[in-house]
Copies of this chain bind each other. A is one copy, B any other.
Amino acid sequence: MPGTIDTLATVECNDLIESVSTRSYGQLRLRLDRQIPVLPGQFAMIKPHGHYEPLLRRAMAYYRCGLGKKSLSVDFIYQILGRGTQMLAKLKAGDEVDFLGSLGNTFYIEAAHRHEALLVAGGVGSAALFMLAEELVRCKIPTKLFIGGAGRGDLCGLGDFISLLSSDQVISATMDGSYGEKGFVTVPFEKHLQSRRGEPMIIYACGPDPMLHRVSQIADQFAVPAQLSLESPMACGFGICVGCAVAVKAESPVGFIYKKVCTDGPVFWSNELHW
């Protein structure tokens, strides 16, 4: 990955997101004293510097970035789950972070020209879509976001998306009905596709596997191209461990080969994938 650097970044701020959810999230801003390309869909591998455990860095999608004079700041939204994200949650302004990035490919935005772009986000998966949404807006592509989560507090970045896209372009769904429609986000998403059947559309999605699977089926059904940003356990993030395998259709005795989510992805066309 040309342009990938392994460096120390400095924590500018790290805010635990107050929410009514049973889950917890944090938003982290890192400052790098170098500028590197940061593309929508890309990610970095990060870890608090000088801590011995957990060992491995964690893959985090770029949520947003900002250019300073000679510096760069990047934002991440993380859900606090296991050891890695618990350690991220302890970071304070001024702390140092091991940073490896930028990693991975990017969304294919050219394909969206003269299409309506439909973004589908589940839980913290929305983090991977915000820079994409910014870019689509910049390219003047009509963009709609379908965002789902367990409850209101799990719709990560909702406010930022609404400011960017305007509230009528953001359709929400929560499992507990605390915000937007009650149920899976794929339901209003499917309805929308139905109502616009035949119009040129393109889908970009990121979220839990079952959601992506359903998005992929719907995309198939309506013959709309879809790009999915995948997650997979990663040890290295830059292609040397082959831990992040995903089955991709191919002519082979089994009908697929394994590709690497970290360097061949994380963004794949949904019809490439061997589910």
Contacts and interface: CB of A to CB of B under 8 A. Distances in A.
Given A50-B90, A52-B83, 7 more contacts: A50-B86, A51-B51, A51-B53, A52-B53, A52-B54, A53-B53, A92-B92
Interface string A48-59: 001111100000
Interface in A49-91: 50-54, 83, 86, 90
A210 B88 CA distance: 43
Contacts of A90: 50
9 contacts: A50-B86, A50-B90, A51-B51, A51-B53, A52-B53, A52-B54, A52-B83, A53-B53, A92-B92
A54 B52 CA distance: 8
Nearest to A86: B50
What are the 5 A-B residue pairs with the smallest beta carbon separation, nearest first? Answer: A53-B53, A52-B53, A52-B83, A52-B54, A50-B86
A134 to B, nearest CB: 35
A83 B86 CA distance: 20
Contacts of A50: 86, 90
Contacts of A52: 53-54, 83
Contacts of A51: 51, 53
Interface residues of A, number: 9
A contact patch SS: loop
Interface string A92-105: 10000000000000
Contacts of A53: 51-53
A16 B23 CA distance: 37
Nearest to A90: B50
A90 B94 CA distance: 12
Contacts of A92: 92
A77 to B, nearest CB: 22
A92 B50 CA distance: 16
Contacts of A83: 52
A112 to B, nearest CB: 44
A80 to B, nearest CB: 12
A219 to B, nearest CB: 41
A88 to B, nearest CB: 13
A83 B51 CA distance: 9
Nearest to A89: B50
A238 to B, nearest CB: 24
A65 B90 CA distance: 29
A54 B90 CA distance: 17
A86 B92 CA distance: 17
A251 to B, nearest CB: 46
